[in-house]
Structure 1
Amino acid sequence: MNQPVSLRDTPIGFIAKLRFWLENYFGIEGQGSTLRREVIAGATTFLAAAYVIVVNPDINSAAGIPFSAGVTATVLVSFLGTLAMALYAKNPILIAPGMGINILFAYTMVVGAKIPLQIALGCVLWGSVIFTVLAFFNVRQAVIDGIPASLRNAISCGMGLFIALIGLVNAKFISADPFTVVHAAPFNPIILTFLAGLMVTIALVARKVPGALILGIIATTLMAIPIGRLWGDATAYWPEGAASVTLVNWSGLFAAPDFSFLGQVDLLGSLRLEYLPYIFVLVFTNFFESLSTFLGISEAGNLKDADGNPRNIKQSMHVDALAALASAPLG
């Protein structure tokens, strides 16, 4: 005789329980949002920040870290940090390597100052230790409390302009110029893709289409494939050794993670007196770079408490610090 099947034991029942837990744990409805909107926002955030998975390892490869190992470290730090930010701090903020401190590490310390790679990673680790101590003793929160609301709004605008600049550079729309700092790049398939995708995204946002950003990213990706395959000669835009015949190429869907640089840190060697200034600079850069980013996101996303301060700030600072602490050992 067949036994009746409870709805709770079916996939539909599991999804219902998961939905109930998510809405109650994160207080989604209380924040004026919906689960559907949060899923779309999460996917949009991932697609908007996915460039870090490639750009960060590419920058660190100049210091001698294998690209595949850099990808593994970037993904792990971002995944674990973002997961902790969600479950512990309950803030919809993505954690990822900063696009300023990695340049400081790779080009200033290793390439420029000729600091051995393992010692440079040791400097990063000690800087992260100090950074973590400052976070757990609420020094960063004290700094935030001392920043007036008008300056927080200005930081939000500044972060928006900085992100826009990164986008223009990554799209090859502008490039460096020794006289005017930046200049417009000549028209090419990359810029064609960028402009077409930008126009589509602007139109979707202007018409207030739900999920406009993620739809714009998808549309741009679909346009980039034929443009890059048919008209894009990558050797015209990147060094010949790093480029291929076409801009868009298929190189496989799966790859095993590379842990070859796991734990490659010289803790004692990095404590030599000559390296202490670099540790200080790393702490200073990490402190204010992450602080300005957090304030900008909190203002732009209205992630504030009843007093107008960034919500769950203490927990968020803890997560950010621990993610930084894990970055050096992971490579």
Structure 2
Amino acid sequence: MSEELNNNVTEETATAAPAAEEAPVESKAKTKFGRKLDNYFGITKEKSTFGTEIVAGIVTFLAMAYILVVNPNAISLFGVNKVPTEQLFLATALGAVIGTLLMAFVAKMPLAQASGMGLNYTVGGLIAGGLAGAAVTFGNAMLLVLISGIIFLLLSVIKINGVAIREVIFDGIPECVRGAIAVGIGLFIAFIGMQNSGLIVASSTLVDLIQFNTYAWPYAASGAVVCLVGLLSIAVLEHFKVKGGVIIGVIIATLVGIPMGVTKWSGMSWKFWETFAAFFSFNGSENGGVFFACFTEGFKWAGGASQIMPAVMTVITFCMIDM
């Protein structure tokens, strides 16, 4: 009887008690500008500090900086794409800056954006292989990427019964297929990486490992050795949870590649600002005009109407990779 009475009293008290309003979080910043930043991004509200966010930003940059090197190489797959590497480097950096700033000031989310692994190698393969037996230029590929991006944005924004179309499509894909897509893209990237490093070579069985027991100089397997050193370094650093392990591994491989003749500095310039004028020009991608390439050369298709359906399927493929 007493237990029932106590329970009733407790329930009535809980029901009668008004919901406590969340007290406003006072900023710990010392300056007016700091308080404005704090209130805008909700740093104190999320129980974080400026120092924590700065360190997290540096660590995130170190973890993602490898894309600045990998993305230009991916798009220039097999050397077919004649776009200057420094322009692709600049495009990769500029895209990451714009995407990250939009996430920061529009979405107010501490998320860094950069070119995605998988799609970049697909674009490189598209330029190298062409469509319907006809060549595909850098501008053609960028136009398809732009179209797929717009479609993907619409699929994410337009909702049916309160659910985005993208989510409906994603939920309709069997889980085994989702996993297979991710694994397939990973294997594709790994295969291309092993090809570029010389770790695997063509043979009568289609693919074979390079021979490491040929000691003539220049060492034929030098690229493969540098690849394995970089891969092992990254694996060890990641095992011990070293922050920025990927970029550190890239640096180690770069240094090892200098005496082995793999890392080449000839023709390289650190004056990236010199490429800006060409980057924003209308002179075509091969002359450095990367920024407007999809408009200056994207609509000029070598195969004409025969490339329409392959182009449509390519756009769908790009959307599936982003999904």
Q: Common fold, TM-score beyond 0.5? A: yes
* Residue 198 (1) aligns with residue 231 (2): yes
Cα displacement (A) at 1:146: 2.4
Letter in 2 for 1:140: R
CA distance in 2, matches of 1:107, 1:140: 30
Cα displacement (A) at 1:277: 1.0
Cα displacement (A) at 1:185: 2.6
* Residue 144 (1) aligns with residue 160 (2): no
Cα displacement (A) at 1:190: 3.1
* Residue 177 (1) aligns with residue 202 (2): yes
Tell me the residue number matched to 1:38: 56
Cα displacement (A) at 1:276: 1.9
Tell me the residue number matched to 2:129: 108
Contact 2:74–2:121, Cα closer than 8 Å, also in 1:
no
Match of 1:73 among 74, 88, 91: 91
Tell me the residue number matched to 1:48: 66
Tell me the residue number matched to 1:94: 113
Letter in 1 for 2:319: F
Deviation per CA, 1:31-85, whole angstroms, max 9, x where unpaired?
xxx6366325412332232223431452497345444444443333333234434
Gaps of 5+ in 1: 1-5, 235-245, 292-331
In 2 relative to 1, CA 252–69 (structure 1 residues): closer, same or farther, beyond 3 Å?
Answer: closer
CA distance in 2, matches of 1:66, 1:128: 24
CA distance in 2, matches of 1:153, 1:26: 37
Tell me the residue number matched to 1:242: none
Cα displacement (A) at 1:113: 0.4
Deviation per CA, 1:222-242, whole angstroms, max 9, x where unpaired?
4632x333232x5xxxxxxxx
Contact 1:131–1:283, Cα closer than 8 Å, also in 2:
no
Letter in 1 for 2:98: L
CA distance in 1, matches of 2:58, 2:311: 39
In 2 relative to 1, CA 184–27 (structure 1 residues): closer, same or farther, beyond 3 Å?
Answer: farther
Match of 1:221 among 251, 262, 269: 251
Contact 1:53–1:71, Cα closer than 8 Å, also in 2:
yes
Match of 1:247 among 252, 255, 264: 264
In 2 relative to 1, CA 74–178 (structure 1 residues): closer, same or farther, beyond 3 Å?
Answer: farther
Gaps of 5+ in 2: 1-28, 159-163, 213-220, 282-288
Cα displacement (A) at 1:99: 2.4
In 2 relative to 1, CA 228–196 (structure 1 residues): closer, same or farther, beyond 3 Å?
Answer: closer
Worse-superposed segment, 57-66 or 138-147: 57-66
Question: How do 1:269-284 residues align onto structure 2 when only pairs under 5 Å count?
Answer: 273-284=305-316
Worse-superposed segment, 280-289 or 123-132: 123-132
- Structure with the higher fraction of residues in helix conformation: 1
Contact 1:174–1:184, Cα closer than 8 Å, also in 2:
yes
Contact 1:176–1:182, Cα closer than 8 Å, also in 2:
yes
CA distance in 2, matches of 1:195, 1:175: 12
TM-score by length of 2: 0.60
CA distance in 1, matches of 2:136, 2:241: 51
Tell me the residue number matched to 2:31: 8
- The structure with more radius of gyration: 2
Tell me the residue number matched to 1:311: none
Contact 1:118–1:264, Cα closer than 8 Å, also in 2:
yes
In 2 relative to 1, CA 17–287 (structure 1 residues): closer, same or farther, beyond 3 Å?
Answer: same
Percent identity (aligned): 22
**Secondary structure class of the residue paired with 2:200:** strand
**Secondary structure class of the residue paired with 1:177:** strand
In 2 relative to 1, CA 23–218 (structure 1 residues): closer, same or farther, beyond 3 Å?
Answer: farther
**Secondary structure class of the residue paired with 1:99:** helix
Contact 1:59–1:103, Cα closer than 8 Å, also in 2:
yes
Aligned length: 261
Cα displacement (A) at 1:280: 0.7
Match of 2:322 among 290, 297, 302: 290
Contact 1:175–1:185, Cα closer than 8 Å, also in 2:
yes
* Residue 24 (1) aligns with residue 29 (2): no
